[in-house]
Structure 1
Amino acid sequence: MALTEEIVLTKSKASNLSRVKSLNCWGLNVSDITILQKTPNIEVLNLSVNRIDTLKDLANCKMLRELYVRKNLLVDLKELEHLSHLPNLRVLWLQGNTCYQNSTDRDRVLQILPNLKKLDNTAVVHGKSIEEFDGKETEQKGTKTRQGNVLKCVFLLLDELDDEELALVEKRIKEKSSCSSSSA
């Protein structure tokens, strides 16, 4: 079944295709998404549980931030290359597709889409899943210390800062370092 202009406008409650910002087409048995070439301002798109086998029609959705394509018919990770020029894409859900079965596939996804912040509900820091991050977690009386989790959060937050904010963080680190060394 082809996704039509009527379906897109009805589901998004937009007056025309260029005004579509968010669209949920979960479980509609859709296989043809050609119409989405005409939605340049879409930001959030849920196409999970459909019959989609290509992502080429999303290549010009430059405002796309979140894409949900779980449980479709994507068989080749090369399909993600159609998304590689989408500057705002930060969230991708891909589970349940033949092309995405293991951690090697996950690594490949992060190579193709290095700007992702979340892949299948797992945060990504510097191209690694947060669960893979090599933080200093130690066990103490059967419970993990906060150190590893705090470090993970710090790196996630640093990724969100602009240059001016990073300069403030750097200044604070230098102040803290000089205080630590003078008290030692």
Structure 2
Amino acid sequence: MSSTTVPEAGEAVQEENDNNDIEYVEVDASTKELDLTRHRIKKIEGFDFLHSIEHLCLRWNLIKKIENLHMLVTLTELDLYDNQITKIENLDELVNLESLDLSFNRITVLENLSALKKLKNAYFVHNKIRKIEGLDELTELEYLELGDNQIKKIENLSKNTKIKRLFLGANQIANIENLDLLNDIEVLSLPANAIQEIKGLNNLKALRELYLSQNGVKCITGLENNTNLEILDLNYNRLISISNIDHLQKLTDFWAKKNNLAKMSDVLELIKLPNLKLIYLEMNPLAECGTYRSKIIHMLPQIEKLDATYCRIGKRNW
């Protein structure tokens, strides 16, 4: 027997417990939100009676296929995080969907999404996706998460001009490219890739947060037009000096943990950033000096935290 079935009139949803016994969850037909997280559901079925459903959460189940959702036209949020789904399909009728989470599944191709014209948030973390594609019709997309896949190139996003937050960490991307038309991006996250040079950001003047930890960046370049940056994350790279950032006057956070910064003179440019509040410099050669902390605090009196620890007298130490 299927592990999720609604008998009649939408009075209950069947689920299977650890002993393979069938249990029922009472569901009102007019409910707008339904959360069936960790209910060992194996198949999507029996939800047709939910004529007003807006949010359906089926996280952490055993679902292998997206199906039997065509009647749920009122749905605005569908969460299928951490199942066993291999293919994006059968979503054409969900024309009001604004949020779709298919993270932690087994998807290899971005496809069959063109009907979701209202989609604003899309999450595909930890799948087996090799290429950014199939998103041309999603012109309302604002938040795209494709972290922890097998993507080698940033591409095919020219139609998604409303994207504000783009997450592509833990892939195999070597170049920052093809972002020129995404003028609204505020957060760009590319940690744990194969990037050696900061470039391709000239048109991203709205950019506030840039995350590039765990790459191979040796010097800071390409940020001339990104004067709205507030957070710059370069932890775990290969920096030998900090330069070309004195124009980033709005910068509050600068993270450069575990690089190759050897001398105090390598970080002198930070003096020119009056709004700097938090910096990370630990695990650099210069941090091995016993007076490292006092020297940095003296050199940068504007900062509030150094390596996550408060550094001004009178600041709370929690």
SS in 2 for 1:84: helix
With a CA cutoff of 8 Å and minimum separation of 6, indicate the structure with the bigger relative contact order: 1
What is the TM-score normalised by the length of structure 2? 0.36
Whole-Å Cα distance in 1 between the matches of residues 292 and 208 of structure 2?
30
Aligned to 2:301: 114
2:299 pairs with 1:156 = no
- Which of 288, 310, 314 lines up with 1:123 in the alignment? 310
Moved more, 102-111 or 86-95: 102-111
Which amino acid letter does the alignment assign opposite residue 123 of structure 1? Y
Q: Partners of 2:290 and 2:263 in 1: how far apart?
A: 15
The answer to whether the 8 A contact 1:80-1:109 is kept is no
Partner of 2:188: 12
* C-alpha distance in 1 between matches for 2:284 and 2:261: 5
Q: Does 1:84 align with 2:271?
A: yes
1:119, CA displacement in angstroms? 0.3
Is 1:47 aligned to 2:234, yes or no? Answer: yes
Alpha-carbon distance change, 36 to 15 in structure 1, aligned in 2, over 3 angstroms: closer
Distance across 1 between alignment mates of 2:178 and 2:256: 18
* Distance in 2 separating the partners of 1:7 and 1:50: 23
CA displacement at 1:16 relative to structure 2? 2.6
Task: Tell me the CA shift for residue 85 of structure 1.
Answer: 1.5
Cα distance, 1:93 vs structure 2: 0.6
Aligned-partner Cα distance in 2 for 1:28–1:7: 19
Q: Give the match for residue 118 of structure 2.
A: none
- Name the % identity: 27
Q: Any idea what SS the aligned residue of 1:41 has? A: coil
Can you list the C-alpha shifts for 1:37-74, whole angstroms capped at 9, x where unaligned?
33211001110000111111112111100011000111
Residues 58/89 of structure 1: CA separation in 2 closer, same or farther (3 Å cut): same
Instruction: Show CA shifts across 1:132-170 (max 9, x none).
Output: xxxxxxxxxxxxxxxxxxxxxxx227xxxxxxxxxxxxx
In structure 2, the gaps of 5 or more residues are 1-173, 190-200
Structure 2 counterpart of 1:57? 244
Q: AA paired with 2:243?
A: K
How many residues in Structure 1 have an aligned counterpart in Structure 2?
A: 127
1:152 aligns to what? Answer: none
More moved, 60-69 vs 6-15: 6-15
Structure 1 letter corresponding to 2:277: R
Amino acid in the other structure paired with 1:36: L
Asked if the contact 1:77–1:100 (Cα under 8 Å) also holds between the matched residues in 2, the reply is no
Pairing 1:35–2:206 present: no
Structure 1 segments, 4+ long, off by >4 Å, are: 7-11
Greater Rg, structure 1 or structure 2?
Answer: 2
1:68 lines up with 2:244 in the alignment: no
Identify unmatched segments of 5+ residues in structure 1.
Answer: 127-154, 158-184
The CA distance in 1 between the partners of 2:290 and 2:256, in whole Å, is 18
SS of the residue 1:100 aligns to = helix
- Give me the CA root mean square deviation: 2.7
Query: Is residue 211–residue 232 contact of structure 2 (8 Å, CA) maintained in 1?
Result: yes
TM-score, scaled relative to structure 1: 0.61
Counterpart secondary structure, 1:56: coil
The AA in structure 1 aligned to 2:247 is N
